[in-house]
Amino acid sequence: MSMETNDRPVLSRRQFLRGATVGAAGLVLAACGGAPAAQAPNSEGAAPASTQAPAQASGGVQRIRAMMWLNSPVLDENFKLRAQQFNTIYQGQYEIDLQLLPYDQYWSRLDLAYAANDPIDTYMWDVQAYTHYKSGLLRNLQADIDSVADFANTEQYPLELYDFWRFDGTNLYGLPENIQMMALYYNKDIFDAAGVAYPDSTWTYDKLLEVAKQLTITEGGETTQWGFDKGALGAWWGAQTFGWAAGTAFFDKVIEPTAFTVSDPRNVEGLQWLLDTVYVHKVSPDATQAAAIAQDVSLFQTGKLAMVADGTWYMSSNVDSPFQWDMAPLPIWKDQRALPFWFGGWVVANASKAPEAAIAWAKWSATDYQKELVTNRDWIPIRRAEREDPAYLAGLPTGFKSVVDTLGDARIGDLYHGKSAQLVNEVMGPTLGEVWNNNVTPEAAAADIDAKANDLLAQG
Partner 1 sequence: MRSNTAIIVSLVMVGTLLSCSFTAYGFARLNAPGKNVIFMLVLATLMLPGAVTLVPTYLMFNAIGWVNTFLPLIVPAFFGSAFNIFLLRQFYMTIPMELEEAAKIDGASVYRIWWSIMLPLSKPVLATVAVFTFVATYNDFFLPLIYLADEEKYTIAVALSFFQGSPRIGPQMHLLMAAVTMSILPPLILFLAAQRYFVRGIVTSGLKG
Amino acid at 45: G
Secondary structure letter of residue 300 according to DSSP: G
Shortest CB 270 distance to partner 1, Å? 21
Shortest CB 240 distance to partner 1, Å? 16
Shortest CB 209 distance to partner 1, Å? 26
Report the residue number, 65 or 363, with the smaller CB distance to partner 1.
65
The alpha carbon dihedral of 33, 34, 40, 46 has a sign of: positive
Query: Cα–Cα distance between 317 and 272 in angstroms, integer?
Result: 29
Report the residue number, 52 or 201, with the smaller CB distance to partner 1.
52
Query: Cα–Cα distance between 330 and 284 in angstroms, integer?
Result: 17
Report the residue number, 311 or 355, with the smaller CB distance to partner 1.
311
Question: 198 Cβ partners below 8 Å, 6+ apart?
Answer: 186, 188, 191, 326, 328, 399
Report the residue number, 45 or 221, with the smaller CB distance to partner 1.
45
SS3 138: strand
Amino acid at 156: Q
Report the residue number, 103 or 279, with the smaller CB distance to partner 1.
103
Report the residue number, 109 or 334, with the smaller CB distance to partner 1.
109
DSSP alpha helix (H) spans, 94-225: 103-115, 130-134, 142-146, 159-162, 188-194, 205-215
Shortest CB 66 distance to partner 1, Å? 11
For helices 265-279 and 429-436, the axis angle rounded to 10 degrees is 40
Query: Cα–Cα distance between 295 and 318 in angstroms, integer?
Result: 16
- For residue 166, the number of C-alpha atoms closer than 13 Å in the C-beta half-sphere is 10
Report the residue number, 29 or 193, with the smaller CB distance to partner 1.
29
Contact 379, 373 (CB under 8 A): yes
Shortest CB 110 distance to partner 1, Å? 11
Contact positions vs partner 1 (CB under 8 A): 1-3, 5, 7-11, 13, 16, 27, 30-32, 34-35, 37-38, 44-47, 49-52, 65, 69-73, 75-76, 97, 99-103, 105, 108-109, 112, 115-116, 118, 232, 295-298, 311, 313-314, 316-317
Shortest CB 116 distance to partner 1, Å? 5
| Cα distances (Å, whole numbers) of residue 443 to 74, 149, 430, 460 | 41, 50, 15, 26
Report the residue number, 203 or 343, with the smaller CB distance to partner 1.
343
Contact 349, 112 (CB under 8 A): no
Shortest CB 316 distance to partner 1, Å? 8
Shortest CB 236 distance to partner 1, Å? 12
Shortest CB 151 distance to partner 1, Å? 26
Shortest CB 71 distance to partner 1, Å? 5
Strand partners, 340: 411
Report the residue number, 13 or 154, with the smaller CB distance to partner 1.
13
Nearest 5°: phi and psi at 433? -60, -40
Report the residue number, 41 or 195, with the smaller CB distance to partner 1.
41
The string of DSSP codes covering 391-419 is HHHHTS-TTHHHHHGGGGGEEE---BSTT
Query: Cα–Cα distance between 402 and 201 in angstroms, integer?
Result: 7
